[in-house]
Structure 1
Amino acid sequence: MVDNQFTTHTELFDLRGKRALVTGGTRGIGMMIARGLLQAGVRVVISSRNAEACAEAQEHLSKFGDVRAIPADLSRHDECRRLSDLVTADSERLDILVNNAGTMWDEPLETFPDAAWDSVVNLNLKSPFWLVQALLPALRRAGTADDPSRIINIGSIAAIHIPQRPNYSYSSSKAALHQLTRVLAKELGPQHVTVNAVAPGPFPSAMMAETLDELGEAIAASAPLRRIGRDDDMAGVAVFLASRAGAYLTGTVIPVDGGIATTA
């Protein structure tokens, strides 16, 4: 290999000039990812259903870089299209799409309702597909053979092992999202778009708050690394997948869980 094929360490993770959409970016894992991308130089759009949460998150994240928040209910197909139109209104290119918006329904098997399937599958599985459909032209324009555009789907270790608290529609929707990631990776690779998934373990978030309050110490003790996730753990894997360092990965599902799912 000749010297000019090597990339410097700084350049490997330099994302200056890139544009990203992070759904569910107003709190929890989405905010961790948005912060990491902003610090790497990305211009980031975040989205959430709640307009007030969007405004607060934009104010908080603005200290790290160029961020814009757009309220949207991504459980609806028309709202996914509207968000896509707004994201691409001032540029026809999108370098990074992070499908993070998600929801969970915690109820016993005997009373688990149809609505628990519809609402969870619509947001956790259908909305990533709808956004890929809507934003694919912009992703194609941004990607090259050497520097593809990136789709990062946020799955869950609940789709890899059986969680302590069964969440039927949540686990199923995330398992389907992992498979959708692989299917899209094969189709979109030749179009200079990579598709990977991150499967988070326990991280401090509103979705995990009740579980961590009840079982946090036991969950941390069950991890080979003996702790729950931190902000930098999630920001780091997102920056890796979005950067030159992760340009040759596609179709992968990366557990970020301290080893919980993969060593059980």
Structure 2
Amino acid sequence: MSWALSLPVKTLKDSSARHVLLCLANYAGSNGAGAFPSAKTLTDDTGLSERTVRIKLDLLEECGLIVPGNQALAAVYIDRHDRRPVVYDLMIKRGAVVAPREDATGCSLGQNGVQPTTERGAATAPNTSINHQLTEQQQREISEVVAEQDRQALEPQDDRQRFPMFAEFVPSPEALQAQLKIAGLPEDCATDDLIARFKGFFVAKTAVVDSAAGWCFKLAGWIKRERALGSTSTEEELPAGDWASKGVRL
């Protein structure tokens, strides 16, 4: 917070934005990183409206005084993605003020004898924060855990779990081969193009859910239909009875 207090007026002339910055700094770590109070919290702290707080945060970003930080920090404390506030880092180095030096009498040239910043890159005094600041190593570990959790969320936990189709879905080779065999199809007929078209069709149908094995069953049926349609597209028109033999419904 001492950094925010020591910013020259010419660096940030907007008094409301300065007030938001001061309150935001109260939640940052000693290096200015990892502040993530919600807009509602900043509204309570500053007395400004939530809309004004958001506008002033945008202004602080435009001025280069804050930047988006490690968003995984908020995920540690808040499970729901849509309720996580933005994590900001304060650009302390950008807005740093040269520390006052003592004159010949040994008196500090700073206001009221208070030195707002430290010299030669020394660490600033730590600020208390409700964010429970972590070391950089811990932050990296948390980021890896969150990324792994997001990856696992896209994958079915077992064959019985039902889920909507998603772009990263990879059918089980064993289950798919079994369904192809049951459908009387060759093992090599499940081409990448057919699988991609199948997934593209069902990704848009979020209401359709099935298990991993069920999706393999649907995929085998899709391939059989596509092959039947493809084999008859270049032939002459067939009698109705022969269409049924091709597996195509009229």
On whether the aligned pair clears a TM of 0.5, the verdict is no
TM-score (norm 1): 0.21
Higher relative contact order (CA 8 A, sep 6+): 1
Larger Rg: 2
Which structure shows the bigger proportion of residues in strand conformation?
1
TM-score (norm 2): 0.22
